[in-house]
């Protein structure tokens, strides 16, 4: 995941690029003609000081490498954000970002 978090007045503006294939389970492999198994992010959570400030639930219709932007109040430059996603296969990815 690539994350940018910047203060703009009293808001923290967060931009996230979640690198993930986001397979629907409905597309066929061109070589084998078999269905490619579904693999997509189900949940993305952002926490600031152990408090959830953003939560998104995705489904199979979301495109590859989804981009999400959101804002919240209460952050300060130098604070840390923790972001975690979980996909339908149980795979998890977590990253931290510092507010600038």
pLDDT of 5? 98
Structural domain boundaries of the chain? 2-24+38-98
* Dihedral sign for Cα atoms in the order 52, 39, 16, 85: positive
Q: Are 4 and 20 in contact (CB under 8 A)?
A: no
pLDDT above 90: percentage of residues in the chain = 100
Q: Right CATH number for 2-24+38-98 from 3.30.9.10, 3.30.360.10, 2.60.40.10, 4.10.520.10?
A: 2.60.40.10
pLDDT in tens, 8-46: 999 999 999 999 999 999 999 999 999 999 999 999 999
Share of the chain above pLDDT 70, in %: 100
> What pLDDT, in 10s, does the model give residues 73-99?
999 999 999 999 999 999 999 999 999
Burial code of 69-84, b = ≥16 C-beta within 10 A, e = fewer?
Answer: ebbbeebeeeeebebe
The whole-angstrom separation of Cα 29 and Cα 67 is 25
Pairwise CA distance, residues 70 & 83, whole Å = 13
pLDDT at 84: 97
* Helix/strand/coil for 12: strand
pLDDT at residue 29, rounded to an integer: 94
């Amino acid at each position: 995941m690539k994350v940018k978090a910047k203060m703009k007045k009293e808001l923290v503006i967060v931009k996230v690029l979640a690198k993930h294939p986001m397979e629907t389970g409905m597309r066929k492999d061109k070589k084998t003609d078999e269905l490619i198994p579904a693999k997509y992010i189900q949940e993305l959570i952002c926490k600031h000081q152990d408090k959830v400030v953003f939560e998104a639930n995705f489904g199979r219709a979301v495109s590859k490498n989804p981009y999400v932007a959101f804002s919240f109040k209460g952050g300060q430059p130098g604070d840390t954000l923790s972001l975690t996603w979980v996909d339908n296969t149980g795979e998890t990815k977590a990253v931290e970002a510092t507010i600038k």
